[in-house]
Amino acid sequence: MNIQPNLVTKRIDGTANDLTGPVVGAFVSTHQPRWRWLQFARDGSSYADYGVLGTKPTAGILYEGGNESPSLIRVQPFTATSTNTTGGVRVVGWNMYLDGSTEVWIPTVLGDASFARTSGTTVLIEIDGTDFYSYGSASATSGTPAPNLYGLGSGSTNPPASMVVDTMGAQLIQVRAIAAAGDFGVMWCTI
């Protein structure tokens, strides 16, 4: 026996809405992300040394106000050099503290991953007249916070790999990249 309750709600004007039968169309969801693009120069073949700064960082900043925004960020890297078959992406969170009237910016590595692809076989996109190549596989970098990684492998039919990182309330979110040559780019969104 299937028993459906009689649901009655009131409209603003006080009249009844008769909702007998199943309630259709109700769902719970989260705000859907809007992808953004950031193109930037890589650090080189290894990450540049950085530590506490006396001025606010400006290079590779994805967004500001992380402590008031969603706590997860998804990053999908691309290289502008077709021969770069490996690369790395590091997401750094920055928080500012005041020492008297002096700003002190403290970095925290939030996630670090290595990416790989087979030369000439992964997704190619063109942005602002520059060709960018995606990476098909991702692996966590030893000794750093492990992001959630998404990628099937480095073959030609695989979708681009990406990583999801918890921003841990950082005020600024910065992305850094390493590769053998060329500029880098990331598609990114908060989720």
Tens-of-pLDDT digits for all 191 residues of the chain? 444 444 444 555 556 555 554 545 555 555 566 788 888 878 888 888 888 999 999 988 988 875 556 688 999 998 888 888 888 999 999 999 998 999 999 999 999 999 888 766 566 788 888 888 888 888 888 777 888 998 876 555 567 889 999 988 899 999 999 888 878 889 888 88
CA nearest 80: which of 136, 125, 138? 125
Q: Which residue has the tokens 């602002």?
A: 128
Total domains in the fold of the chain: 1
Residue 72 lies in a domain: yes
Any domain includes 49: yes
pLDDT of residue 118: 75
Do the domain assignments include residue 20?
A: no
Judge whether 17 lies within some domain.
no
CB-based burial label for 5 (10 Å; 0-12, 13-18, 19+)? exposed
Domain that holds residue 182: 34-190
| pLDDT value, residue 20 | 52
> Does residue 4 fall inside a structural domain?
no
Residue 144 lies in a domain: yes
Q: Report the pLDDT value the prediction gives residue 95, as an integer from 0 to 100.
A: 93
**Quick one: pLDDT at residue 68?**
59
User: Residues with Cβ < 8 Å from 98, sequence gap 6 or more?
Assistant: 104
Q: Determine, yes or no, domain membership for 78.
A: yes
Q: Do the domain assignments include residue 96?
A: yes
| Chain mean position to CA 79 | 16
User: What is the reported pLDDT for 13?
Assistant: 58
